Amino acid sequence: MILDRKTAPERLASASIPILNHQPIKLTDNLECYRVEGGTEDIVKIDIVFKAGTRYEQKPLTSTICLNTLKEGTENYSAKEIADTTDFYGAQIATNLTKDRAEVTLLCQTKHLNKLIDIFTDIFLLPVFPEEEIEQYKKRSSSTLAVNLDKVEFQSRLLFSQLMFQGTPYRDIYDLKDYANIRAADLQEFFANFYNFADSFCVISGKNTQLAAETLGRAISKKSMRRGKEILSGEAVNWSYVPGEKWNKKDEAVQTAIRMGVPALSRNHPHYTALYIANTALGGYFGSRLMQNIREEKGYTYGIGSAINALEELSYLSISTQVGAEFSKLTVNEIKKEVHGIATQPIKADEFELIQHYIAGNLLKRFDGPFATADRLKSLISYNLPADWYTVFSKALFELNPIDICEISRVYLHTDLFSLAVVGEWPE
């Protein structure tokens, strides 16, 4: 077929987003399971999501080391047996940690699930945290941290976290001496408290998800009775935000890292879509105002961007970049100028239409296939959002106008509300 390059493709007037099945099935007495059936390949993915993120740790690094050493040995399998078996069947067992949640994931061919399910469930039900494996992990991880702590980008992230989240468990705290304080007993205690089914869920996606759910349910039922009592002791976050600014000098730094941020709206707020559009215009895609000004026009940086970061109990908008040291103060001024522009001047019609369709296309891509759809479902469950949230979001995307965006931005994106963290060098 010959493409007609003279006629532009028809533009979307809306994005057709499916309403996700929000009705779980009971996998065990305490664990709820959601299924996303689809795909053409004989592959299944199982995500077990625990409320065991970094915000729940009493000692720094506990949640990180706990999650990353689950595969280092269980009551029934050594670390080598786990690695060799998953490799033999071409499977993957992965982990992911956020500030709120910890995930353990199995990705494999459906026909091999019976061969892998016992190992997989052992990892999140019966880990033993061998001291030797823990010490090896601590040595590797501390070496990586030592390198990162010398980077201006990493230092600015820590400084920004201190300014934004002071007094909350969401603050990032990394110190090399903390590794020496972690023992197997700390990991076992954290695991006992937070790796339970009291506030967890499971999402199974791909082919034959009903069979996978039944297989997983049987495997868990055989082992869960061997676990002790379930405890969940996380506290609510009390965020008393006060804007702050800090410039940390790093001698002989070639580049300077800049981070700015401001509290944002949660996903269930009626103005969230408007603020999302404003962020996209500001720094949320390659053609954004920050990129056009600071990268394309000024040449201060290779890249700059902004994002709305949604956590379970708070949200914030952040802007980050690295620039030549001599451009540090100029860049901060230009960022403030662009933020002020979004909040005081309505977006022009052609730019606004481009942004609408960029967001709509990106949203559709996030539902491309069962695994991507499962990730969207996990977000709905984690943030306690209704099943039609993405549908409502996509509808609002095309109902809002530039004046709406400007008015919302004026309230939430005032430059005086931003915190600023800078690490590197700058002209006096």
Q: What is the pTM of this model?
A: 0.92
Task: Please report whether residue 260 resides in a domain.
Answer: yes
Say if residue 228's pLDDT is above 50: no
Tell me the backbone φ, ψ of residue 413, rounded to 5 degrees: -120, 35
217 and 282 inside one domain? no
CATH label of the domain that carries residue 254: 3.30.830.10
48 and 177 inside one domain? yes
119 and 43 inside one domain? yes
What is the maximum span of the chain, computed from C-alpha positions, in angstroms?
68
Each residue's pLDDT tens digit, 343-402: 999 999 999 999 999 999 999 999 999 999 999 999 999 999 999 999 999 999 999 999
Residue range 174-197: average pLDDT? 94
Task: Please report whether residue 20 resides in a domain.
Answer: no
Task: Please report whether residue 17 resides in a domain.
Answer: no
Q: Give the span between the Cα atoms of 422 and 159, in whole angstroms.
A: 8
Q: Give the span between the Cα atoms of 250 and 319, in whole angstroms.
A: 21
pLDDT of 161 reads: 97
The contacts of residue 111 (CB under 8 Å, 6+ apart) are 42
pLDDT of 13 reads: 59
Tell me the backbone φ, ψ of residue 192, rounded to 5 degrees: -65, -35
Of 224, 256, 275, which closes a domain? 224
Which DSSP symbol is given to 366? T
Task: Please report whether residue 5 resides in a domain.
Answer: no
99 and 205 inside one domain? yes
310 and 194 inside one domain? no
Q: In what order do the strands lie in the sheet with 102-109?
A: 25-26, 32-37, 201-206, 43-50, 102-109, 92-97
Percent of the chain with pLDDT over 70: 93
Half-sphere exposure for 428 (CA within 13 Å, toward CB): 0
Looking at every residue in the chain, the average pLDDT score rounds to 92
Residue with tokens 């491309």: 368
Residue with tokens 């970049």: 321
Q: Give the span between the Cα atoms of 68 and 53, in whole angstroms.
A: 12
**Backbone torsion region of residue 92, taken as left when φ is above 0, otherwise alpha when ψ lies between -120 and 50, otherwise beta:** beta
- Among 24-28, 291-295, 408-412, whose mean pLDDT is lowest? 24-28
Say if residue 110's pLDDT is above 80: yes
Q: Are 195 and 189 in contact (CB under 8 A)?
A: no
277 and 407 inside one domain? yes
Task: Please report whether residue 200 resides in a domain.
Answer: yes
pLDDT of 252 reads: 85
283 and 355 inside one domain? yes
Which DSSP symbol is given to 237? -
Half-sphere exposure for 118 (CA within 13 Å, toward CB): 9
234 — pLDDT class (breaks 50, 70, 90)? low
pLDDT of 43 reads: 97
Number of domains in the chain: 2
Which DSSP symbol is given to 315? E
pLDDT of 198 reads: 81
Q: Are 255 and 322 in contact (CB under 8 A)?
A: yes
214 and 256 inside one domain? no
Each residue's pLDDT tens digit, 252-305: 888 999 999 999 999 999 999 999 999 999 999 999 999 999 999 999 999 999
Q: Give the span between the Cα atoms of 341 and 149, in whole angstroms.
A: 35
Task: Please report whether residue 230 resides in a domain.
Answer: no
Task: Please report whether residue 66 resides in a domain.
Answer: yes
Task: Please report whether residue 265 resides in a domain.
Answer: yes
Q: Is the dihedral of CA 146, 147, 150, 153 positive or negative?
A: negative
DSSP letters, 245-306, are: EEEEE-TT-SEEEEEEEEE---TTSTTHHHHHHHHHHHHSSTTSHHIIIIIIIS---S-EEE
262 and 328 inside one domain? yes
167 and 84 inside one domain? yes
176 and 127 inside one domain? yes
pLDDT of 1 reads: 56
300 and 214 inside one domain? no
pLDDT of 30 reads: 82
Enclosing domain of residue 256: 245-424
Cβ neighbours of 167 (radius 10 Å): 12
Q: Give the span between the Cα atoms of 257 and 325, in whole angstroms.
A: 9
